[in-house]
């Protein structure tokens, strides 16, 4: 992987390019009180693809009783135009979900499990051991059907029910999972409690089992540390980051989980550091504005709010009569 040498010694050599994996339509919308209509979800996804995102998690093939907001996954995939340059994916908890994903012609499935027992039970009604077995079963069947498999690990930094997660617990679960056949393992700070030194420790220990090139970070920004943790991951060689338009996101079975790292905040930082993403930031802001409109509230993304505020200021200056502009 080509790299740019930063002149900040502790950052070391940084990647020249980063892969941004958009989770807003899934992680974001699963947690909203307002369920968007299927055509509105399709509009939002089209805006994200239009901004240059090439990997978008569009929904979940989970039980509609557990996540009613995403009950229209099949209908949504029926509305989305497909292109060989864009990869759509969705969460798949079991064989039933995989059959639904296959019928919807998805080429990629995302299996997901937690490293802590209480969150696992609350989120998917399984112990961690049962969840590892289910992920293995789904991954094997998906691979045989020619699909790619991504794997999420939740509560890696901390658990809403058990507190701080010992890194050895993470290493143990990764050890049980590493041969199930995923192309990428995304490590989740589900409730956004991670700090940079903890992130460094997790990345170092997990990368002894799974190569850095196969790791991604999925950082929620509940306490404002997501971007700092992403920077640490970047400096250690992580090149894929999950993020969500406008900072939408959360897990309904993890109380206190707030939005993901906002895609615009991540892209702004990366571009500013000379790292390419293939994403058009002004068009991403337009997608964020659309997300706000559809959801009906101001989203937490900082870059989004700064860009919209700046635009509003310029528009009001343009509306002022020329005489008062001169006086000012
Ligand atoms: P269960 O109730 O134990 O399932 O739920 P079951 O196998 O006993 O089946 C019960 C009923 O659900 C049956 O229907 C099944 O057919 C149906 P009935 O016979 O009663 O009419 N069912 C399904 N229906 C549609 N699609 C399916 C499916 N499976 C069963 N795939 C289950 C177990 C796993 C299904 C449930 O707990 C579930 O769907 N959980 C999903 C929870 C979820 O999506 N949470 C949020 C995503 S995780 C997250 O956000 C974290 C992440 O972002 C990373 C991070 O931040 O850390 C990824
Ligand atoms: Mg999440």
Query: What are the residues whose beta carbons fall under 8 Å from the beta carbon of 328, sequence distance 6 or more?
Result: 320
Distance (Å, whole) CA 32 – CA 258: 11
Find the CATH number of the domain harbouring 315: 3.20.20.70
Residue 6 lies in a domain: no
The closest ligand to the CA of 97 turns out to be 1
Q: Whose CA is nearest to atom 7 of ligand 1?
A: 94
Nearest ligand 1 atom to alpha carbon 110: 58
Per the DSSP assignment, residues forming a β-bridge with 67 are none
**How many structural domains comprise the chain?**
1
Residue 1 lies in a domain: no
Residue 230 lies in a domain: yes
pLDDT value for 56: 98
Q: Whose CA is nearest to atom 45 of ligand 1?
A: 123
**What sign has the CA pseudo-torsion 295, 296, 300, 305?**
positive
Residue 58 lies in a domain: yes
- Out of 23, 251, 262, 270, which one is annotated catalytic? 251
> Hey, which of 29, 31, 63, 244 would you mutate to test ligand 1's pocket, going by the most ligand atoms within 8 Å of its Cβ?
63
pLDDT value for 1: 54
Distance (Å, whole) CA 226 – CA 30: 20
Residue 325 lies in a domain: no
pLDDT value for 106: 98
pLDDT value for 250: 79
Residues with CB under 6 A from ligand 1: 27, 30, 60-63, 66-67, 91, 93-94, 96-97, 100, 112, 123-125, 152, 154, 188, 190, 218, 220, 251, 253
Q: Are 180 and 148 in contact (CB under 8 A)?
A: no
Residue 253 lies in a domain: yes
**Enclosing domain of residue 104:** 13-319
The per-residue pLDDT for range 10-26, each reduced to its tens digit, is: 888 899 999 999 999 99
Ligand 1 centroid vs 256 CA: distance in angstroms? 21
- Strands 3-5 and 13-15, how do they pair? antiparallel
Residue 3 lies in a domain: no
Per the DSSP assignment, residues forming a β-bridge with 240 are 19
Residues of the chain with pLDDT under 50: 328
Residue 24 lies in a domain: yes
Element counts in the chain: helices (H) and strands (E): 12, 12
Nearest ligand 1 atom to alpha carbon 186: 54
The predicted model scores a pTM of 0.95
pLDDT value for 328: 47
Phi, psi of 169 (to 5 degrees): -65, -40
Residue 151 annotated among the catalytic residues of the structure: no
Q: Whose CA is nearest to atom 17 of ligand 1?
A: 63
């Amino acid at each position: 992987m080509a790299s740019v040498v930063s002149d900040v010694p502790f950052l070391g050599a940084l990647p020249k390019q980063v892969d941004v994996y958009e989770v807003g339509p899934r992680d974001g919308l699963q947690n909203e009180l307002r369920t968007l209509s299927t055509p509105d979800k399709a509009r939002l996804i089209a805006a994200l693809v239009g901004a240059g995102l090439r990997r978008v998690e569009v929904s979940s093939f989970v039980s509609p009783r557990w996540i009613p907001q995403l009950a229209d996954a099949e209908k949504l995939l029926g509305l989305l135009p497909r292109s060989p340059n864009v990869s759509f994916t969705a969460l798949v908890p079991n064989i039933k979900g995989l059959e639904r994903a296959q019928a919807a012609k998805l080429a990629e499935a995302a299996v997901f499990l937690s490293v802590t027992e209480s969150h696992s039970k609350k989120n998917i009604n399984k112990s961690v051991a049962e969840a590892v077995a289910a992920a293995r079963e789904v991954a094997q069947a998906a691979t045989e059907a020619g699909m790619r498999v991504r794997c999420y690990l939740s509560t890696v930094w901390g658990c809403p029910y058990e507190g701080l997660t010992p890194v050895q617990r993470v290493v143990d679960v990764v050890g049980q999972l590493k041969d199930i056949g995923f192309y990428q393992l995304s490590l989740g700070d589900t409730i956004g409690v991670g700090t940079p030194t903890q992130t460094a420790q997790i990345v170092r220990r997990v990368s002894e089992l799974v190569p850095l090139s196969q790791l991604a970070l999925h950082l929620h920004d509940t306490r404002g540390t997501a971007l700092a943790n992403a920077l640490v991951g970047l400096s250690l060689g992580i090149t894929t980051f999950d993020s969500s338009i406008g900072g939408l996101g959360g897990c309904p079975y993890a109380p206190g989980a707030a939005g993901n790292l906002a895609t615009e905040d991540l892209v702004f930082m990366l571009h500013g550091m000379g790292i390419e993403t293939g994403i058009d930031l002004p068009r991403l802001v337009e997608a964020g504005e659309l997300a706000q409109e559809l959801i009906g509230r101001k989203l937490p993304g900082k870059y989004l709010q700064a860009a919209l505020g700046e635009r509003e200021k310029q528009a009001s200056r343009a509306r002022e009569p020329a005489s008062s502009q001169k006086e000012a």
